Amino acid sequence: MKSAKNGDIVIIGGGIGGLTMALSLHQRGIPCRVFEAASEFRPLGVGINMMPHAIRVLSTLGLEENLNRYGVEAKEFAYFNRHGQEIFTEPCGRFAGYEYPHFSIHRGDLHQVLYEAVVERLGVGAVSLGHRCAGVEQDADGVTVRFEDAPEQHGRIALAFDGFHSALRHQFYPDEAPPQFGGINMWRGVTRRKPFLTGASVTRVGTVQVGKMVIYAIRQFDDGTQLINWNTEQPRDDHKLNDWATPGRIEDFIEPFAGWKFDWLDIPQLIADAEFILEYPMVDRDPVGRWVFDRVALMGDAAHPMYPRGGNGGAQAILDAECLSGLLTEHEDPVAALRMFEAERLEVVNRIVLTNRDQPPDYIIETVDNLTGGAPFERIEDVIDPAELAAISDRYKDTARYSKEAACGR
Ligand SMILES: Cc1cc2nc3c(=O)[nH]c(=O)nc-3n(C[C@H](O)[C@H](O)[C@H](O)COP(=O)(O)OP(=O)(O)OC[C@H]3O[C@@H](n4cnc5c(N)ncnc54)[C@H](O)[C@@H]3O)c2cc1C
């Protein structure tokens, strides 16, 4: 096995952010090595939305064609109340005039596209599996990264892309409170079936108070069927540990959705036909005021774990990678580049963490639900001006930096 040399950048964690970082540095001719805790990569998780701001970065890395091959190019965001009535629909990605598409994709497929590109471009030895980071030490010249059951590694700087349960975040914030549970539990699954609505609609239905669902296609098969990703949210007093692989049971969450047989989708059937179901609590952590500690930076979920709403957990990790690799190219001193990275990203992303708690995009449905008292409506125009609903959506895009201008990197 190769060791990281003193001049290398050490990336801890080979998830979405860590692998994007490796590709981005490699594209700029900056040597790096990735150390990942898992002993093998498995297609874990379910669906993830990659919107134009993230796809711009991945396209620059030459990955758009592969993502298109695995995922589904989304056409619209569609919002429905608990009665299945359409509240608001707007085009997304290229269908909304963005320069880059919006892909809905299995997280395992996205990870695979990134991993294959890293192996092809940096070589198979660039990612060391079975390396669980235990801590880092640093001096004026560089970093020493320690692992459980593996030799230590040296480098110029260390980038902690080690996810929600980051070992390095714990090193720098040893007294941090446990993850913040928002009183909401999620059950997620995938079901193969014929397409619904446009076949490329990212659909949100209901409100979390009574039961909410997010439903979208993530794979297209030759026989015309699709793999549909669905996610339910419900209020709960307690929760299990946040592990993306915890299995879920239909009987624990089906009740509010049992009557949701709409003319555009039979939701109880969708759930009953699931290939598997996973359970995950809605957790994040309070934003912190510092991600960079001289030669070590917390990045991605290690820096800003957020509710998985609005497709921004993965996207912001990707944007972190792009931002820092650009700064490392411009500045010879990596410590200065890390400081600038923090100055550029910390406030922006911390705001997304807080917005995802109480005003995610599905705030549109909550607004209408409050106005109608949860009852069906005759005409949405009699309830609220659709321009006000569009304004809610636009506000989230501004905060999450995927308005048309921001998504293009302007
Ligand atoms: C298994 C899994 C499944 C997921 N499924 C979904 C999903 O279905 N939908 C969704 O929206 N989001 C999902 N997420 C979250 C989403 O991928 C992240 O929010 C987003 O990609 C942020 O990227 P990241 O690189 O910061 O973290 P991640 O993509 O989570 O990557 C972190 C990586 O660090 C590794 N790691 C952890 N600890 C250590 C350590 N001590 N040393 C070395 N490596 C370490 C992990 O194994 C992982 O590969 C999932 C995350 C994981 C880990």
Which whole number is the average pLDDT over 63-74? 96
Q: Is residue 293 part of a domain?
A: yes
Q: Is residue 386 part of a domain?
A: no
Ligand 1: distance of its center to the CA of 150 in Å?
A: 21
Is-contact 56 99, C-beta < 8 A? Answer: yes
What is the torsional sign of CA 311, 313, 314, 315? Answer: positive
Q: Is residue 321 part of a domain?
A: yes
Ligand 1: distance of its center to the CA of 325 in Å?
A: 20
The model's pLDDT over 356-367, given as tens digits with 9 standing for 90+, comes to 887 777 789 999
Q: Which domain holds residue 313?
A: 9-43+108-178+286-358
The model's pLDDT over 161-215, given as tens digits with 9 standing for 90+, comes to 999 999 999 999 999 999 988 889 999 999 999 999 999 999 999 998 899 999 9
Q: Is residue 160 part of a domain?
A: yes
Cα–Cα dist 101/122, whole Å: 27
Enter the pTM of the model.
0.93
Report the CATH number at residue 37: 3.50.50.60
Q: Is residue 352 part of a domain?
A: yes
Q: What is the pLDDT of residue 408?
A: 65
Q: Which residues sit with their C-beta closer than 6 Å to ligand 1?
A: 12-18, 35-38, 44-46, 48, 107, 131-133, 161-163, 167, 244, 300-301, 308, 313-314, 317
Q: How many domains does the chain have?
A: 1
